[in-house]
Amino acid sequence: MTTFDERLGYQFRDRGLLEQALCHRSAGKPNNERLEFLGDAVLGVIVSELLYRRFPSASEGELSRLRSQLVQRSTLAEIARELRMGDVLRLGMGELKSGGANRESILADALEALVSALYLDSGLAACTERVEHWLGARLQGLTAQESGKDAKTRLQEWLQARQRALPVYSVDSIAGQGHQQSFAVSCRVEGLSQPLTGSGSSRKEAEQKAAASALQLLESGGE
């Protein structure tokens, strides 16, 4: 469990909370359902405050759309995969055989349970620090006006507005098999000396990450 602690960037004082957060209902009781219930609310409060402070001029509707983007199931599952939670989840035999360790719904629920466990173990401030760290570039790359557009769309529009060539995406590598595949993708953009890379459990996810990195560099004036 030490390796997972390192990935979390946090050492639990109450190990029982962590163990419960990582136990799916298929593995028996106590499982993470109650923690998931609380974690959903805690995560909503944390993300709402982060957005409220980051976008002081955004309307309620814009803030709501941004929050939905950050706490949607696919985003939470993506963070869980980055933390490799599937490696440490306790699942029943049926879920194990059917690939439950990489199922989006199970991973998203487990991440909510983990947020709740952090909150109960150390309070809101420590929990907020970890959530903000996990959101990382996803939070940094948001704009209130473009909250409904994904990174590839925003990158394309940024380039088109400046009459520059569209980005070119290429798959660098595919590792693993079945539910455990990992894609590495490069995004080549006119004006950037080096391609930007992204990785994920699907080509689409990897392309979105590469596009987000490219857009962030372009907007900051980097080359």
- Is 223 an annotated catalytic residue? no
Ranges of the chain with pLDDT below 50: 1
Q: What is the pTM of this model?
A: 0.64
Are 2-142 and 151-219 the same fold in CATH? no
Residue extents of the structural domains in the chain? 2-142, 151-219
Q: Pick the catalytic residue: 40, 82, 104, 129?
A: 40
Measured distance CA(37)–CA(42) in Å, rounded: 9
> DSSP 3-state assignment of 107?
helix
Please name the residues in contact with 4: beta carbons below 8 A apart, sequence gap of 6 or more. 83, 84, 85, 87, 88
pLDDT tens digits for range 36-90: 999 999 999 999 999 999 888 777 877 887 888 889 888 899 999 999 998 999 9
Architecture of domain 151-219: 2-Layer Sandwich (3.30)
Q: Pick the catalytic residue: 62, 112, 121, 207?
A: 112
Q: β-strands 168-175, 182-188: how paired?
A: antiparallel
Instruction: Please tell me the predicted confidence (pLDDT) of residue 137.
Output: 82
- Is 109 an annotated catalytic residue? no
Phi/psi zone of residue 163: left (φ > 0), alpha (ψ -120 to 50 degrees), beta? left
Beta strands in the chain (DSSP E): 168-175, 182-188, 196-200
CATH class of 2-142: mainly alpha
Instruction: Please tell me the predicted confidence (pLDDT) of residue 64.
Output: 83
